[in-house]
């Protein structure tokens, strides 16, 4: 075995370890002057490394999701034998995951939650702007559980339910498919529910202008009317600066519209400042129509965006805000 400071011999000529390795690769591949190609490869790696990082960082969220799933399976196995909780089997698991995600939000984004007092004690429908990833909503859900001891169920796109291994995570947190009847029933039982009417389309194809992409969707408004609950608007500052998409490429938009699969690449994962703002509730009115309530909700959400977000969004500015010591006032 040859040490790092030793030499190897190819024929009569002693060579350093690196030169020896290059020689062996050249003999094995039959490529002359392979050291020139290796030098070029190292140069390309050095040049492209920053680009690779911005596409790989969002993978941290995927790792956190599957870490959460693994912890749930461990928790389930342990408590099937132990039965540590008499009221709700998953209470401890929810607190554990809330601590994990809240810790990530605090450390990476300096996450803040403002206006939690606007959330009613009873049922309500939270309507939020959808960033490129739902990380800001997860931070909100974790902080709400830790501070207020309240669960918040969320309506997710159908493709989420087809993700491998996600079933236990979705079941534990009460993630819903979103039929109107299911939402109305949950609200009437006293649950707090969150929904992003723009869904995946808004997540992928909105941009640094923070355009609300709802189309003609008004089902959420009809749900609030049928359940006789208030709507609470919610927006997270800099959510599109943390992770961005390549949704501006027309062929990707066309591909999504035909397949309904979120195959648009994302990049970023930057430690930008994230602040979630919860607006004043829009109370239930018996005579309001779904169209009128949709317009009211959209106006309230737009007002939150205009008040708390500098447009167009800027990644560098959002990074600088992360390291400012003075907190932004509500």
pLDDT in 10s for each residue of the chain, 330 residues: 444 444 454 454 455 555 666 666 666 666 666 566 566 566 566 565 665 666 667 778 888 888 999 888 888 877 764 554 445 678 888 999 999 999 999 999 999 999 999 999 999 999 999 999 999 999 999 999 999 999 999 999 988 999 899 999 999 998 998 789 999 999 999 999 999 999 999 999 999 999 999 999 999 999 999 999 999 999 999 999 999 999 989 899 999 988 888 889 999 999 999 999 999 999 999 999 999 999 999 999 999 999 999 999 999 999 999 887 555 444
Q: Are 194 and 128 in contact (CB under 8 A)?
A: yes
> Cα-flanking dihedrals φ and ψ of residue 319, to 5°?
-65, -40
Instruction: Give the predicted TM-score (pTM) of the model.
Output: 0.79
Q: Could you tell me if 120 and 186 lie in one domain?
A: yes
In this structure, is the dihedral angle defined by the CA atoms of residues 286, 287, 293 and 299, taken in order, positive or negative? negative
Four-CA torsion 292, 298, 303, 304, nearest 10 degrees: 130
Q: Could you tell me if 25 and 111 lie in one domain?
A: no
Q: Could you tell me if 147 and 28 lie in one domain?
A: no
| Cβ neighbour number for residue 197 with a 10 Å cutoff | 24
Q: Could you tell me if 146 and 245 lie in one domain?
A: yes
What CATH number is attached to the domain comprising 271?
A: 3.40.1130
Q: Could you tell me if 144 and 208 lie in one domain?
A: yes
Q: What are 297's two structure tokens?
A: 């909700």
Core vs surface per residue 267-281: b (16+ CB within 10 A) or e: bbbbebbbbbbbbeb
Q: Helices 91-109 and 135-148: crossing angle, nearest 10°?
A: 120
| Cβ neighbour number for residue 106 with a 10 Å cutoff | 14
Q: Could you tell me if 137 and 37 lie in one domain?
A: no
Q: Is residue 7 part of a domain?
A: no
Q: Is residue 84 part of a domain?
A: no
Q: Is residue 171 part of a domain?
A: yes
Q: Is residue 327 part of a domain?
A: no
Rounded alpha-carbon distances, angstroms, from residue 263 to 62, 144, 146, 274 = 15, 31, 34, 25
Q: Could you tell me if 138 and 33 lie in one domain?
A: no
Best CA proximity match to 267, nearest among 48, 56, 64: 56
Residues belonging to the active site? 130
Q: Could you tell me if 288 and 156 lie in one domain?
A: yes
| Residues 6+ away with beta carbon under 8 Å from 89 | 79
Best CA proximity match to 294, nearest among 234, 236, 235, 231: 231
Q: Is residue 299 part of a domain?
A: yes
Helix ranges (DSSP H) in the chain = 17-29, 34-56, 59-82, 91-109, 135-148, 167-172, 180-188, 199-205, 219-227, 239-242, 250-259, 290-308, 315-322
Domain count of the chain? 2
Q: Which domain holds residue 33?
A: 17-48
> Cα-flanking dihedrals φ and ψ of residue 242, to 5°?
-65, -50
Q: Could you tell me if 101 and 228 lie in one domain?
A: yes
Q: Is residue 80 part of a domain?
A: no
């Amino acid at each position: 075995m040859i040490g790092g400071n030793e030499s190897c011999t190819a024929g009569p000529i002693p060579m350093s370890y690196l030169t020896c390795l290059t020689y062996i690769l050249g003999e094995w591949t039959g490529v002359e002057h392979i050291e020139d190609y290796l030098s070029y490869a190292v140069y390309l790696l050095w040049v492209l490394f920053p680009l690779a990082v911005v596409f790989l960082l969002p993978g941290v969220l995927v790792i956190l999701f599957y870490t959460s799933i693994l912890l749930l399976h461990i928790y389930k196995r342990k408590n099937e034998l132990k039965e540590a909780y008499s009221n709700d089997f998953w209470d401890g698991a929810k607190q554990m995951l809330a601590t994990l995600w809240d810790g990530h939000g605090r450390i990476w984004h300096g996450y803040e939650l403002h206006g939690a007092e606007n959330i009613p004690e009873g049922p309500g429908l939270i309507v939020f702007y959808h960033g490129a990833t739902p990380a800001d909503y997860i931070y909100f859900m974790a902080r709400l559980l830790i501070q207020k001891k309240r669960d918040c169920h969320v309506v997710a796109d159908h493709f989420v339910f087809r993700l491998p291994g996600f079933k236990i995570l979705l079941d534990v947190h009460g993630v819903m498919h979103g039929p109107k009847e299911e939402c109305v029933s949950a609200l009437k039982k006293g649950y707090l529910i969150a929904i992003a009417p723009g869904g995946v389309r808004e997540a992928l194809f909105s941009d640094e202008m923070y355009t609300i992409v709802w189309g003609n969707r008004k089902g959420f408004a009809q749900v609030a009317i049928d359940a006789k609950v208030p709507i609470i608007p919610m927006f997270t500052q800099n959510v599109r600066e943390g992770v961005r998409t390549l949704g501006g490429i027309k062929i990707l938009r066309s591909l999504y519209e035909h397949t309904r699969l979120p195959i648009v690449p994302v990049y970023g994962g930057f430690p930008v400042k994230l602040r979630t703002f919860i607006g004043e509730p829009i109370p239930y009115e018996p005579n309001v129509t779904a169209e009128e309530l949709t317009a009211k909700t959209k106006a309230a959400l737009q007002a939150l965006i205009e008040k708390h977000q500098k447009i167009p969004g800027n990644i560098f500015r959002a990074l600088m805000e992360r390291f400012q010591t003075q907190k932004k006032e509500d």
